[in-house]
């Protein structure tokens, strides 16, 4: 059986390499092998921040299986596979050498390749053109699936697309200019919008939609734009105030609904660092079964019990983020936390104004040690960054000695996509905060501080909502085990 083969080969490989292995290698390999042999759907939850060495437990069954597969990965994971994991299997020799097709999936010969290495955009394109066939899917970053598919399905209309449409239909050029001017007034009349994003309602786009319905044929992006829309999509404009330009963006709230049938009746191995707060690639408006995701097996592979709890500095009485004294509080506490530290400090908050102001104030006191979203800090440096930047770049930085959470990673309703997801939950009468924003935020928090467990560092949370809101107890449970750090002592 494939499970026994994978178990035997992986065990022999780990014994030859030595070192301290991830404790669930063999369990993961047997789960993956079973799913590939049976062609069913398996969901494996890993603890947030799990050591990336777990990938070898996934790849060994892929190398031994004879099934036709499609491995869907992000750019960062693709690089690790090509530079680390696949050469590692090739060095082992024998049946473990794993070859994959990385491009030209449209060619007839590509159908004979056993393993396709796909980006999320490749997956969307192949599915929409009916070229995915009966391949089983292997998705090792399920926590990023919704976001990655949204980006792959995004429709973007830049200024050059308006010019292209005008050239395709010269008789409608005057009407197009009038509609463009109307939308420009709507978008540019807003005061400096957060993140330079302006949400657009259906009635803002209705005149343009009516005109496009009369113009045939339409260039590719406009045709897709006309076919999409409604309550299941979010639309916004990204403003470039320096040049008074704006670009229309549209993404689906539920990408797996747009790709209806992708997972139905198809074998799939889904692996993700989801923790216990997230559902299986959950979205705001539909259950997994409605989207074809019906895992036969769902397993959680957590980390072994931790001997030392995480030191947590979170004073009882802290101002809320909307308090007029919050910026001063953030600076004073950050200054105390940085003082005397000999290792790397990471300060995380998404509010751009607060973050840039805090970075400038800390740089005025600590000089070049303080940087903004840089992967080359000094050994005792201070990196101020957004949560998304840190989650995407932490592997390129040394393990921090402390992480300072200026603001918990709860998505802002000022973001058009977040606001649209919240409205979708409200229409269904569901708790949009505890079912949508909070689980996502807790998962990001766990991923962001996972390195502290390995480095023996400390965590500071300066957001007053941790102690001042009832849901703060869920945040503390997500961080367990931890121990209160009541006094700050220099290292």
Give the bridge partners for 44, in sequence order: 271, 299
- What is the per-residue pLDDT for 270? 95
Q: How far apart are CA 272 and CA 86, in angstroms?
A: 20
- What is the per-residue pLDDT for 287? 42
* Phi then psi dihedrals of residue 409, to 5 deg: -80, 55
Determine contact, residues 409/349, Cβ cutoff 8 Å: no
- What is the per-residue pLDDT for 189? 84
Predicted confidence (pLDDT) per residue in 86-97, tens digit: 999 998 877 888
Q: How far apart are CA 48 and CA 445, in angstroms?
A: 9
Q: Where are the alpha helices (DSSP H) in 339-413?
A: 352-366, 387-393
Q: For each of the chain's 491 residues, which pLDDT tens digit applies? A: 899 999 999 999 988 888 767 889 999 999 999 999 999 999 999 988 787 889 999 999 999 999 999 999 999 899 999 999 999 999 887 788 888 988 888 787 788 889 999 999 999 999 999 999 899 999 999 999 999 999 999 999 999 999 999 999 999 999 999 999 999 999 988 776 667 899 999 999 999 999 999 998 999 899 999 999 888 999 999 998 777 789 999 999 999 999 988 998 899 999 998 766 554 444 444 444 445 577 889 999 877 555 578 999 999 889 999 999 999 999 999 999 999 888 999 999 999 999 999 999 999 999 999 999 999 999 999 999 999 999 989 988 999 999 999 999 999 999 999 999 999 999 999 999 999 999 999 999 999 998 888 788 999 999 999 999 999 999 999 998 899 987 776 54
* Among the listed residues 194, 169, 192, the one whose alpha carbon sits nearest the alpha carbon of residue 179: 169
CB-CB neighbours of 23 under 10 Å: 13
- What is the per-residue pLDDT for 177? 94
Q: Is the peptide bond before 217 cis (omega within 30 degrees of 0)?
A: yes
- Long-range Cβ pairs for the range 212-221 (8 Å, 24+): 214/172, 215/165, 215/168, 215/169, 215/172, 217/168, 218/165, 218/168, 219/161, 219/164, 219/165, 219/168, 221/155, 221/156, 221/157, 221/161
Classify strands 297-301 and 345-348 as parallel, antiparallel or unpaired.
Answer: unpaired
Give the DSSP letter of residue 464.
Answer: T
Biggest distance spanned by C-alpha atoms of the chain: 73
Burial class from Cβ neighbours inside 10 Å (0-12, 13-18, 19+) for residue 20 reads exposed
Q: Residue 33: which H helix or E strand, with range?
A: helix 25-38
How many helices (DSSP H) and strands (DSSP E) are in the chain? 20, 17
- What is the per-residue pLDDT for 20? 66
Q: How far apart are CA 425 and CA 40, in angstroms?
A: 30
* Among the listed residues 274, 326, 324, 322, the one whose alpha carbon sits nearest the alpha carbon of residue 300: 274
- What is the per-residue pLDDT for 450? 86
Determine contact, residues 31/47, Cβ cutoff 8 Å: no
- What is the per-residue pLDDT for 312? 95
- What is the per-residue pLDDT for 489? 61
Tokens 């957590």 appear where? 302
Q: Residue 42: which H helix or E strand, with range?
A: strand 41-46
- What is the per-residue pLDDT for 104? 82
């Amino acid at each position: 059986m494939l499970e026994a083969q994978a178990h035997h080969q992986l065990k022999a490989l780990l014994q030859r390499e030595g070192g301290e292995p991830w404790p669930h290698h063999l369990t993961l390999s047997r789960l993956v092998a079973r799913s590939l042999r049976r062609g069913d759907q398996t969901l494996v939850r890993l603890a947030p921040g799990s050591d990336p060495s777990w990938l070898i437990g996934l790849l060994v069954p892929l190398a031994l299986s004879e099934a036709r597969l499609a491995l869907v990965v992000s750019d960062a994971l693709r690089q690790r596979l090509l530079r680390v994991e696949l050469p590692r299997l090739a060095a082992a020799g024998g049946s473990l050498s794993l070859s994959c097709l990385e491009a030209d999936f449209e060619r007839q010969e590509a159908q004979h390749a056993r393993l396709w290495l796909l980006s999320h955009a490749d997956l969307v394109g192949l599915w929409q053109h009916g070229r995915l066939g009966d391949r089983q899917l292997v998705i090792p970053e399920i926590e990023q699936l919704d976001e990655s598919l949204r980006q792959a399905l995004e429709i973007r209309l830049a200024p050059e697309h308006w010019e292209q449409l005008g050239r395709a239909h010269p008789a409608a050029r005057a009407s197009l200019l009038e509609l463009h001017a109307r939308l420009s007034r709507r978008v540019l009349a807003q005061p400096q919008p957060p993140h330079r994003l302006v949400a657009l309602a259906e009635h803002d786009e209705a005149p343009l939609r009516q005109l496009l319905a009369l113009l045939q044929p339409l260039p590719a992006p406009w045709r897709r734009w006309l076919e999409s829309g409604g309550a299941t999509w979010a639309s916004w404009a990204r403003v470039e105030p320096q040049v008074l330009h704006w670009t229309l963006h549209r993404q689906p709230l539920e990408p797996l609904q747009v790709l209806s049938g992708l997972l139905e009746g198809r074998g799939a191995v889904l692996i993700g660092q989801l923790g216990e707060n997230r559902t299986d690639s959950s979205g705001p408006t539909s259950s997994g079964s409605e989207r074809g995701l019906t895992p036969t097996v769902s397993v959680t592979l957590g980390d072994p019990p931790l001997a030392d709890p995480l030191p947590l500095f979170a004073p009882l009485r802290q101002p809320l983020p909307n308090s007029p004294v919050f910026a001063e509080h953030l600076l004073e506490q950050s200054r105390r936390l940085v003082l005397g530290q000999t290792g790397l400090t990471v300060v995380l908050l998404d509010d751009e104004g607060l973050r840039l102001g805090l970075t400038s104030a800390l740089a005025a006191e600590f000089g070049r040690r303080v940087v903004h979203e840089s992967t080359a800090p000094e050994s005792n440096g201070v990196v101020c960054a957004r949560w998304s930047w840190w989650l995407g770049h932490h592997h390129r930085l040394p393990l921090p000695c402390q992480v300072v959470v200026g603001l918990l990673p709860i998505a802002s309703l000022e973001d058009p996509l977040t606001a649209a997801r919240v409205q979708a939950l409200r229409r269904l009468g569901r708790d949009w905060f505890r079912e949508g924003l909070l689980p996502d935020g807790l998962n990001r928090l766990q991923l962001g501080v996972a390195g502290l467990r390995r480095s023996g560092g400390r965590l500071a949370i300066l957001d007053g909502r941790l102690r001042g809101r009832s849901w703060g107890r869920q945040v503390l449970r997500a961080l367990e085990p931890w121990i209160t750090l009541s006094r700050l002592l220099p290292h």
